[in-house]
A and B are shown apart, each in its own frame.
Chain A
Amino acid sequence: MADRDRQGLRAVLVVAAIAVCAAGLISASHEISAERIERNIAERVMQSLHEVLDPSLYDNDLIGSQVQVIDPDLLGTTDPVQVFLATRDGEPAAAIFASVAPLGYNGAIDLLVGVDAEGVIQGVRVTDHRETPGLGDQIEISISDWITGFDGTSLADPPLPQWAVTADGGRFDAFTGATVTPRAVVRAVRDTLVYFDENQAELFERAAAEEADATGAETEAVPERVRALVADGRLRLHRTAVPGPAGAPLP
């Protein structure tokens, strides 16, 4: 038997042994950490949700009470939109929409919109966007409090024609040098309110039905789309606010 064959066999065995050890190590650490990772993610989802809805306003399990809806016209995307339905003492209390503002300066802007059962905005936050740093990024709460201007508004206040930026004769301020971004966000929030107004009863019925189905089942892992809601927190550090040349989008 040639020496080379033995060498080759030894190489195969060593690689196989190490591959098995590596696989064992990874599955063991997955075993240890998977549950805690899920819990951490759920906690961060809750943190995001509590930014747009005061926890004292509801008493159900928000993550367990969600439905997906599709309405490209009002919710801004052809993908299913996650809606969290909050109840208090079994009565509908509020809903949180992960809606999308499709007409941002550099593409879609992802939002979380919290609306109470009377159709009053409890809070709006931007979860992801690609707007121009230094101009359009003032929709981020970490940069400007502009987004809090929606708190307390509803379809009746301001009246529908005034649901626009000041430049278009509406009630909401635009930023210096950036009108497109706030216009997109204002429109998306308004459309979300319209959607909620038209579908409120059905949404809560669906959530109640699905919750009844799931009773007794293991708590479901946080769905992929919900994770996306918090992915931004991890990226924020990376996307430093850079003062850009006025009016020009960054490459």
Chain B
Amino acid sequence: MNGAGTLFADGFWRNNAAFVQLLGLCPLLAITTTLVNGLALGIATTLVLIATNSVVSLIRGALVPSVRILIFVLIIASLVTTIDMLANAFFHDLYRVLGLFIPLIITNCAILAQAESVASRHRIGRAALSGLATGLGFAAALVMLGGLREIVGTGTLFSGMEFLLGEAARDVYLDLPYDGMLAAILPPGAFFGLAVLIAARNYLADRKKPDPARREAAAIRQ
């Protein structure tokens, strides 16, 4: 597929929903008290994004511009509700972990943004791929922020892994010789942590591809 790599890089890194577009902050900031929580929400969001992007792409021929947002919201809400019910019935153990997060996904603007800017303009393959890339990008952000807050806040890592991967994963748990700084787990910690990660991402992005304007400014200074 033409430009599949570009499309993926776009969703995952260049236009990362959390770090660049700053979308979906409501679930992002609320859930990421541990790495496992972040991972669980990330998985759920990715699945929903692929589903909504595919459906929106399928019906894009019938879209009416003036009511498109209404239609997107309708599709997202009904798909999420369906996934919630089916997961509760058929993947109950997983649902006990993810269940809390699934309704939260409806509040994620990144999904609406994907429907609007990608899915309603591309064929289903590209729309689904973009959904996957955006979802993975968002999941990566959740895992990093969750991990950061968990380490700083409680001095542990991977706590609760057994909920996600079964009892065998209980031993993955890391307990650092450090009691933790409560602030990182509380809401302000989410903002500080996100700020640190956004700064790190910007630093990496700038280093990789130096901004022409900045290079010019540096040249003038010399």
Contact = CB atoms under 8 A, between A and B. Distances in A.
B109 interface: no
B121 interface: no
Contact of A243 (B64, B90, B100, B182): B182
B70 interface: yes
B182 A40 contact: no
A33 B31 CA distance: 27
A29 interface: yes
Contacts of A32: 86, 89
A40 B78 contact: no
Nearest to B34: A240
A72 interface: no
A11 B74 CA distance: 14
Contacts of A240: 33-34, 150, 154, 159-160, 185
A238 B99 CA distance: 11
A1 interface: no
A228 to B, nearest CB: 15
B9 interface: no
A33 B74 contact: no
Given A36-B90, A233-B96, A237-B36, A18 B74 contact: yes
A247 interface: no
Interface string B58-75: 010011101100110011
A241 B154 CA distance: 8
A40 B64 contact: no
Contacts of A10: 64
B-side interface size class: 35 or more
Contact of B78 (A17, A25, A37, A244): A25
A242 B153 contact: yes
Interface residues of A, number: 32
B90 A237 contact: no
Contacts of B89: 32-34, 36-37, 40
B66 A40 contact: no
**Chain B interface main SS type:** helix
Contacts of B160: 237, 240
A15 interface: yes
Contact of A242 (B70, B97, B100, B185): B185
B179 interface: yes
Contact of A22 (B31, B74, B186): B74
B100 A235 contact: yes
Contacts of B197: none
Nearest to A242: B185
Contacts of B33: 238, 240
B57 interface: no
Given A237-B97, A240-B33, A22 B85 contact: no
Most chain B CB within 10 A, of A32, A235, A240, A243, is at A240
A222 interface: no
A243 B179 contact: yes
Interface of B: 31, 33-34, 36-37, 40, 59, 62-64, 66-67, 70-71, 74-75, 77-79, 81-82, 85-86, 88-90, 92, 96-97, 99-100, 150, 153-154, 159-160, 163, 179-180, 182, 185-186
15 contacts: A14-B62, A14-B71, A15-B67, A18-B59, A18-B75, A29-B81, A37-B85, A37-B88, A234-B99, A237-B34, A237-B36, A237-B97, A242-B182, A244-B182, A245-B182
Closest 6 CB pairs of A and B: A33-B89, A22-B78, A36-B89, A11-B64, A40-B92, A29-B82
Interface of A: 7, 10-11, 14-15, 17-19, 22-23, 25-26, 29-30, 32-34, 36-37, 40, 233-235, 237-238, 240-245, 251
Given A37-B89, A237-B97, A238-B37, 11 more contacts: A11-B66, A15-B71, A25-B82, A29-B81, A29-B85, A234-B96, A240-B160, A240-B185, A242-B154, A243-B154, A243-B180
